[in-house]
Amino acid sequence: MKTTIKFVSLLVIILFIGCKPETQFFWGNYSKTLYDYKKNPDDKTLAEHKKSLTEIILQSSKKHKPVPPGVYAELGYLTVREGNETEGNEYFKKEMLYYPESKVFIEKLLNELHPGESK
């Protein structure tokens, strides 16, 4: 029975691969570049992952889709950590603008990233 279930789930997966429905958000190569970066964190894999984040933003607007939750925040986080605060903060603002439910979290994060700075 167990092998039958395995076999059938495999078949179901094969069937499903053939007809991918249009998804709400476009995520591009996100998982792949993030995994590569986590496995070998260096300048090259980081640059690749940043590129995949900017590509998501670019392609989303081309496809008339909203930028997925968290993408602006993650790009902002990486940018600030590289020392580019002004640019990073712009991304954080966009995350809060498109996803107001992130406001409390992002504001706390900004306080941590720039301690001593008053809002």
Partner 1 sequence: MKYFIALIVIALAGCNPSVTKEEFSPEMYKEHPLSILVLPPINRSTAADAKDYYLTTVAEPLTNTGYYVFPIEIVTDILKQEGLSDTESMVNVPPQKFREFFDADAVLYVSILKWNTSYLITSGSVTVQLECELKSTRTGSTLWYYNDEISVSTTGDNGGAGGWAGLLIQAATTALKTATTDYVPIAKDVNTKLFLAMPFGKYNKEYNLDMKKRIELKKKSTAEVNSSKK
User: Where on the chain is the footprint of partner 1 (CB under 8 A)?
Assistant: 4-6, 8-13, 15, 23-25, 27, 30-32, 34-35, 38-39, 66, 68-71, 73-74, 77, 99, 101-105, 108-109, 112
- Report the residue number, 44 or 105, with the smaller CB distance to partner 1: 105
Work out how close the CB of 54 gets to partner 1 at its nearest, in angstroms, rounded to a whole number.
Answer: 15
**Alpha-carbon Rg of the chain, whole angstroms?**
19
Burial grade of 34 (CB within 10 A; 0-12, 13-18, 19 or more): middle
Instruction: Please say which residue, 10 or 58, places its beta carbon nearer to partner 1.
Output: 10
CA distance to 8, 18, 52, 102, 111, per residue, from 28 (Å)? 29, 19, 7, 22, 31
| Smallest distance, partner 1 to C-beta of residue 62, A | 18
